[in-house]
């Protein structure tokens, strides 16, 4: 049997004149029926005090049946009245002990405490397990997508030191229309695989921060980078709209490869504002198809192909493919930063397909 440490209670001045054994005897008599309290006082030659005060002078007794699972010391009981003791409690942490000490229970308790600590740290908005350091050398190796991401993060959230961005706060913003694509593109930024960009704290060189805020010289990008990012944004915005329109009508999106194939063609000649029209009409047609045939799977699978066919036959019949407005989803921060701040073409980025000519004739483009 394990013996647990004992914490000795302090003895009040009132009883200090007595030996340890006598004090124990006083306590035993106090809880017994044989003696009245004045008799106990007399028996041990103690100062005469009131009955109520007397009880407070008695030191707590050890209760060997219960050990504090945390502090692993033998519990105490206080004296409440004659023949009445308190519940056992821990002399160290003060916890009232109501269960028997059980080593397994204790292990579970410790594990729970650990988990809770981790959880509390995670919940702390200022605690970050992951840090991404962007110094000048690092910055120069980044893709335009990554620079635009950092530009938005800095613009929205950089601290007064002009170098810290707390990723958790980025959750409040719509940075890009497609989270999956965003995480994929950000991998090269130094974010550990499997970690979300909102779980990191970004430490950015102040000169880099200033460059991102001013967005001068198109962040050192060349035409090809700008053209590619325009396409990436056009695809992401089209996909966001498509999935949104489909889910409104309880259609599921499940042909990502087909989407990529069809829409990478569509956006060569059609603006995002026009793909919205094609998507809107195709989903409406799919609803009609579903109403006629009663086959949801067939209807939802027809949508992407319909977009391509409409893009082909509308012009042959002299029907315009209209330019829709952004109504359903607001523009993401990266899209705004890229078209308004970096290219400075604003709504042209939405109303025209990605076009090298536009980029070339963008006379502010010093890299051309
Ligand atoms: Zn304790």
User: How far is it, in rounded angstroms, from Cα 198 to Cα 71?
Assistant: 39
The pLDDT confidence band at residue 1, using thresholds 50, 70 and 90, is low
Ligand 1 centroid to residue 73 C-alpha, Å: 7
**Is residue 336's pLDDT more than 90?**
yes
Angle 258-263-267 (CA atoms, 0-180°, nearest 5)? 170
Q: Which residue has the tokens 């809770």?
A: 116
Structural domain boundaries in the chain: 13-104, 130-214, 223-361
**Is residue 304's pLDDT more than 50?**
yes
Instruction: Summarize the confidence of residues 49-78 as an average pLDDT.
Output: 90
Better-predicted residue by pLDDT, 363 or 361: 361
Ligand 1 centroid to residue 97 C-alpha, Å: 9
- Which residue pairs, CB below 8 angstroms and at least 24 apart, start in 70-76? 70/95, 70/106, 70/109, 72/4, 72/5, 73/4, 73/5, 73/6, 73/7, 74/4, 74/5, 74/6, 74/7, 76/7, 76/9
Ligand 1 centroid to residue 85 C-alpha, Å: 19
User: How far is it, in rounded angstroms, from Cα 30 to Cα 25?
Assistant: 8
Ligand 1 centroid to residue 67 C-alpha, Å: 8
In terms of Cα–Cα distance, which of 161, 169, 275 is closest to 210? 161
Backbone angles phi, psi at 202, to 5 degrees: -105, 125
Instruction: Summarize the confidence of residues 24-28 as an average pLDDT.
Output: 94
Dump pLDDT digits (tens) for 116-163. 888 887 777 788 889 999 999 999 999 999 999 999 999 999 989 999
**Is residue 328's pLDDT more than 50?**
yes
Dump pLDDT digits (tens) for 248-277. 999 999 888 999 999 999 999 999 999 999
**Per-residue confidence (pLDDT) for residue 99, from 0 to 100:** 62
Better-predicted residue by pLDDT, 213 or 127: 213
Q: What is the pTM of this model?
A: 0.68
Ligand 1 centroid to residue 99 C-alpha, Å: 13
**Per-residue confidence (pLDDT) for residue 364, from 0 to 100:** 55
Ligand 1 centroid to residue 91 C-alpha, Å: 7
**Per-residue confidence (pLDDT) for residue 366, from 0 to 100:** 47
Ligand 1 centroid to residue 13 C-alpha, Å: 26
Maximum pairwise Cα distance, the chain:
119
**Per-residue confidence (pLDDT) for residue 367, from 0 to 100:** 42
Ligand 1 centroid to residue 74 C-alpha, Å: 9
CA distances from 141 to 135, 152, 208, 338 (A): 10, 18, 13, 19
Ligand 1 centroid to residue 89 C-alpha, Å: 8
Instruction: Summarize the confidence of residues 213-222 as an average pLDDT.
Output: 91
């Amino acid at each position: 049997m394990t013996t647990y440490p004992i914490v000795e209670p302090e003895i009040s001045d009132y009883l200090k004149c007595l030996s340890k054994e006598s004090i124990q005897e006083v306590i035993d008599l106090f809880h017994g029926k044989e003696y009245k309290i004045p008799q106990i006082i007399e028996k041990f030659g103690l100062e005469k005090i009131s009955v109520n005060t007397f009880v407070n002078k008695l030191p707590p007794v050890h209760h060997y049946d219960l050990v504090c699972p945390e502090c692993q010391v033998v519990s105490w009981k206080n004296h409440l009245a004659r023949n009445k003791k308190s519940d056992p409690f821990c002399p160290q942490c003060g916890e009232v002990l109501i269960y028997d000490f059980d080593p397994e229970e204790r292990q579970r308790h410790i594990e729970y405490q650990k988990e809770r600590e981790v959880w509390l740290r995670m919940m702390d908005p200022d605690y970050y397990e992951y840090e991404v350091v962007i110094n000048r050398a690092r910055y120069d190796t980044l893709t335009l997508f990554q620079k635009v991401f950092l530009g938005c993060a800095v613009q929205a959230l950089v601290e007064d030191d002009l170098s810290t961005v707390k990723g958790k706060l980025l959750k409040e913003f719509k940075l890009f229309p497609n989270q999956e694509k965003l995480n994929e593109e950000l991998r090269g930024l130094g974010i550990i695989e499997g970690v979300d960009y909102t779980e990191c704290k970004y430490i950015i060189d102040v000169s880099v921060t200033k460059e991102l805020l001013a967005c001068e010289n198109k962040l050192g990008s060349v035409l090809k980078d700008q053209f590619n990012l325009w396409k990436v944004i056009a695809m992401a915005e089209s996909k966001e709209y498509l999935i949104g329109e489909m889910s409104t009508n309880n259609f599921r999106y499940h042909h990502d490869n087909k989407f990529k194939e069809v829409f990478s063609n569509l956006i060569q000649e059609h603006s995002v504002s026009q793909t919205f029209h094609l998507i809107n009409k195709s989903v409406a047609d799919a609803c009609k198809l579903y109403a006629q045939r009663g086959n949801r799977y067939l209807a939802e699978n027809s949508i992407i192909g319909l977009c391509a066919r409409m893009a082909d036959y509308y012009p042959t019949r002299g029907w315009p493919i209209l330019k829709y407005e952004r109504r359903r989803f607001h523009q993401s921060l990266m899209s705004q930063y890229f078209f308004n701040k970096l290219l400075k073409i604003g709504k042209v980025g939405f109303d025209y397909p990605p076009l090298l000519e536009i980029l070339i004739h963008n006379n502010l483009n010093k890299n051309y």
